[in-house]
Structures are given as C-alpha cells and as structure tokens.
Homo-oligomer: A and B are copies of this chain.
C-alpha cells in the first residue's frame, strides 16, 4: 500500500514538473528577489508567531509521520488479546515482561499502570490526560503548518508587487512593462506552490495521522481496562472488533487462529 502511494507521488510530481518544462527555458522561473522575499518573509512571520522550539517540534513530528508508518489497528488488537489471554493464564504481573517488549509507548505506560495495581477509574483518568496532551501537541503542530501555508501565498503576492515596482519604476516603454509582468509573477508562483504543493498537504497528512493515533489510543485504553476487569478474551475480541470496518474484521480472524495455536487452547 505504502509503495503505491510513493509511486503515485513520484509519477504525479513528474507529470507536474513536465508541465513546467513543456514550453521551454527553466531559467525563466528563477527570480532571486522573489525567493528572498517569499522565504525570508514567511520565515520571519513564522518566527514572530511561534518560538523556534515549537517550529522544530512541528517539523520533527511531520518527519516522523512520513518515516514511521502507523501501527495497524488489527495488530494492536491482536497484542491486546494476547495480553488478555496471558494475564488470565499467568496473572497480571506476568505482563511486566511484555511491557519492556512492546514498541508502542502508550501501551507500555498503560501496562505500567496495570502492573502497579491502579484502579480502573485511575487508569482511565491517567490515560485520558495523557491522550489529551498528546492531542494538544499534535493540534499545535498542525496549526503551525497551516499558518505557514497561509503566509506563503501572501508573501508571494508581496514579492510580485515588489517585482513590478522595482522593475518598472521609471521606465515608460509599454513592451518592456508587459514583458516584466511574468517575471514578477514568479514570486506568486513560489508562494502558491509552497503552500499548495507542500504545506497544506503536510498539515492534512499530520491531521490524518493524528486521527489514526488517537483511535489506536482509544483501543488500547478499552483493551487495558478490559484486561484489568478480567473480561473473557472472546468478549474482549467482540468488543474491540467494533472499532474495525467490516473489511478489517476478516483480516483479524486469521490472527485469532494464530493466537489459539500459540497458547495451545
């Protein structure tokens, strides 16, 4: 799936770039004053709006969203059913070893609470607070990317106006003036491309990813609480299944058999 997305992006950007080269001469797109104004202006506006630290966090978060794929819902559900079975067979304290193995940070903390013997209400409280601040941080980063995406076209237009003014001031020859217009427009082009080709999609991607991560966290909270109240693994499975779409449910059934094998039930 991931590869399809990547191939699609490569193919489509190629088409996009071919569109740029079709009528010729790429040097026409180069406008140093425009580059300075668009990048310098947007960067200043971003730094006046947010602190350097916040911008760095937002970009790291974005990079992570593209580099590490999200855990699949079925995978997390399988881990939870696994843990539920083990907890019923070997006691809740046996989950301590699992705690160190899991790569999902949120699950690790939830298991920690479980092993430490917190009560259901307390676990729910702690995990919900954790989730709330996670969401706050992600929303901040998305807002930063959207704000930057809004600044780019504005500074693109500023660059174009500057281009028109500096290049045409004092010249009275119509043909030269009309010829200069496209050069000045390159700034607008920079602003539009940076906003629509990069930052708006980045912000949208971050938002989709946040939604997925929050859903996973909801599943983990439900699962861990069920383990704590010693719910039957089969009922737990039915419960967690309601988080899946019908298509995903069939996927999950396969792994259920694997669990059966593993625990020799």
Contacts and interface: CB of A to CB of B under 8 A. Distances in A.
Interface of A: 1-2, 4-5, 8-9, 12-20, 22-25, 28-29, 32-37, 39-41, 43-54, 105, 126, 129-130, 133, 137, 147, 151, 154-155, 157-159, 161-179, 181-183, 185-186, 188-189, 192-193, 195-198, 200-202, 204-205, 208, 242-243, 245-246
Given A44-B13, A172-B175, A49 B204 contact: yes
Nearest to A208: B50
Nearest to A205: B49
A12 B154 contact: no
A44 to B, nearest CB: 4
25 contacts: A1-B51, A1-B52, A9-B44, A12-B41, A15-B36, A15-B40, A19-B159, A20-B162, A28-B166, A45-B196, A45-B201, A48-B202, A48-B204, A49-B201, A133-B245, A154-B195, A154-B196, A161-B186, A161-B189, A165-B182, A165-B186, A168-B178, A168-B179, A171-B179, A174-B174
A234 to B, nearest CB: 13
Count of identical protomers in the assembly: 5
A132 to B, nearest CB: 9
Contact of A166 (B22, B40, B129): B22
Contacts of A8: 43, 47, 52
Contacts of A47: 5, 8-9, 12
